[in-house]
Amino acid sequence: MAEIKRLSESRDLTRIERIGAHSHIRGLGLDSSMEARDVSEGMVGQQPARKAAGLILKLIRDGKIAGRVILIAGQPGTGKTAIAMALAKSLGQETPFASMSASELFSLELSKTEALTQAFRRAIGVRIKEEAEIIEGEVVEISIDRPISSNGNPSSSNAAAKTGKLTLKTTDMETVYELGGKMIEALNKEKVQSGDVVALDKASGKVTKLGRSIGRSRDYDAVGPHTKFVRCPDGELQKRKEVVHCVTLHEIDVINSRKTQGFLALFTGDTGEIRAEVREQIDTKVGEWREEGKAEIIPGVLFIDEVHMLDIECFSFLNRALENEMAPILVIATNRGITNIRGTNYKSPHGIPPDFLDRLLIITTQPYSQEEIRKILDIRCDEEEVEMSNDARVLLTKIGVETSLRYAIHLITAAALACQKRKGKIVEIDDISRVYGLFLDVKRSTQYLMEYQSQYMFNEVPDEGDADEAMQS
Ligand SMILES: Nc1ncnc2c1ncn2[C@@H]1O[C@H](COP(=O)(O)OP(=O)(O)OP(=O)(O)O)[C@@H](O)[C@H]1O
**Strands of 202-317, DSSP E:** 207-213, 229-230, 238-248, 295-299, 301-305
- Give the pLDDT mean for 373-379: 94
Do the beta carbons of residue 427 and residue 389 sit within 8 Å?
yes
pLDDT interval class at 129 (50, 70, 90): confident
Q: Is the pTM of this model over 0.90?
A: no
Do the beta carbons of residue 131 and residue 240 sit within 8 Å?
yes
What distances in angstroms separate CA 217 from CA 16, 140, 192, 378, one per listed residue? 36, 14, 15, 50
Helix axes 47-61 and 80-91, enclosed angle (nearest 10): 30
Give pLDDT tens digits for 238-258.
988 887 888 899 888 888 776
| The pLDDT of residue 3 | 42
| The pLDDT of residue 269 | 55
Q: Is the pLDDT of residue 303 over 50?
A: yes
Closest atom, ligand 1, to C-alpha of 78 = 21
Q: What whole-number distance in Å separates Cα of residue 349 and Cα of residue 71?
A: 12
Residue to substitute in 83, 376, 379 for testing ligand 1 pocket (most ligand atoms within 8 angstroms of CB): 376
Give pLDDT tens digits for 143-188.
888 766 555 555 444 444 678 899 999 999 999 998 888 888 888 8
Q: Is the pLDDT of residue 444 over 70?
A: yes
Q: Is the pLDDT of residue 203 over 90?
A: no
In eight-state DSSP terms, residue 155 is P
Q: Which amino acid is at 448?
A: Y
- Say which range, 264-273, 346-355, 360-369, has the weakest mean pLDDT: 264-273
Do the beta carbons of residue 352 and residue 341 sit within 8 Å?
yes
Sign of the four-CA dihedral 109, 111, 112, 118? negative
ipTM surpasses 0.95: yes
Cite the DSSP H helix spans in 210-300.
Answer: 249-257, 262-268, 276-291
pLDDT interval class at 401 (50, 70, 90): very high
Helix axes 464-472 and 442-452, enclosed angle (nearest 10): 180
- Give the pLDDT mean for 451-456: 72
Q: What whole-number distance in Å separates Cα of residue 84 and Cα of residue 175?
A: 54
Q: Is the CB of 335 under 6 A from ligand 1?
A: yes
Do the beta carbons of residue 98 and residue 251 sit within 8 Å?
no
Q: For the chain, give the number of residues.
A: 473
Nearest CA to ligand 1 atom 16: 79
The residue ranking higher by pLDDT, 65 or 393, is 393
- Say which range, 218-222, 318-322, 418-422, has the weakest mean pLDDT: 218-222
| The pLDDT of residue 216 | 76
Q: Is the CB of 88 under 6 A from ligand 1?
A: no
Q: What whole-number distance in Å separates Cα of residue 463 and Cα of residue 362?
A: 41
Task: Please state, for a pLDDT cut of 90, what percent of the chain lies above it.
Answer: 26
Q: Is the pLDDT of residue 410 over 60?
A: yes
Expressed in angstroms and rounded, the spacing between residue 223 Cα and the centre of ligand 1 is 49
In eight-state DSSP terms, residue 174 is E
Q: Is the CB of 376 under 6 A from ligand 1?
A: yes
pLDDT interval class at 13 (50, 70, 90): very low
Name the average pLDDT for the chain. Answer: 82
Q: Tell me if residue 449 falls in helix, strand or coil.
A: helix
Spatial CA neighbour of 407 closest among 438, 430, 362: 438
Expressed in angstroms and rounded, the spacing between residue 75 Cα and the centre of ligand 1 is 10
Residue to substitute in 44, 47, 80, 81 for testing ligand 1 pocket (most ligand atoms within 8 angstroms of CB): 81
Residue to substitute in 19, 22, 397 for testing ligand 1 pocket (most ligand atoms within 8 angstroms of CB): 22
State the Cα angle at 100 between 96 and 102, rounded to 5°.
140
- Give the pLDDT mean for 371-390: 92
Buried b (16+ CB within 10 A) or exposed e, 363-385: bebeebeeebbbbbbbbbbebee
Task: Please state, for a pLDDT cut of 70, what percent of the chain lies above it.
Answer: 83
Sign of the four-CA dihedral 109, 113, 115, 117? negative
- Give the pLDDT mean for 38-66: 86
- Give the pLDDT mean for 419-448: 86
pLDDT interval class at 71 (50, 70, 90): very high
pLDDT interval class at 219 (50, 70, 90): low
Strand-pairing partners, residue 427, are 388
Expressed in angstroms and rounded, the spacing between residue 364 Cα and the centre of ligand 1 is 13
What distances in angstroms separate CA 104 from CA 98, 116, 233, 280, 367, one per listed residue? 13, 10, 53, 25, 28
Strand-pairing partners, residue 294, are none
| The pLDDT of residue 370 | 92
Give pLDDT tens digits for 323-346.
888 888 899 999 888 989 998 899
